[in-house]
Amino acid sequence: MPRGVAKQNLPEKICPTCGRPFSWRRKWARNWETVLYCSERCRREKSATVSPMHAQGTGTGRAGR
Ligand SMILES: [Zn+2]
């Protein structure tokens, strides 16, 4: 018989952005089924990773004509 290490049987998912498994959190209790990413950050990066480099705000962008 195992000790009383009854870790709750939390469901897990794998974040498609960072590829890491993450487990159920209380804040997702309501919408766990719709949660796909481990964090809001990854949720945003899903689309951010594909975007091309946009012009940075540095003043060195202008090459002489
Ligand atoms: Zn993630």
Write down the pTM of the prediction.
Answer: 0.57
Residue 52 Cα to ligand 1 midpoint, Å, equals: 21
Q: How far is the CA of 55 from the centre of ligand 1 (A)?
A: 27
Q: Cα 2 vs. chain centroid, distance in angstroms?
A: 34
Per domain, the residue ranges of the chain are 12-47
How far, in Å, is the centroid of ligand 1 from the Cα of 29?
Answer: 18
Local confidence pLDDT in tens for the 65 residues of the chain: 667 766 678 999 999 999 999 999 999 999 999 999 999 999 999 765 555 555 455 555 566 66
CA distances (Å), origin 52, targets 1, 6, 19, 28, 41: 56, 47, 22, 32, 18
Distance (angstroms) between ligand 1 centre and the Cα of 2 equals 32
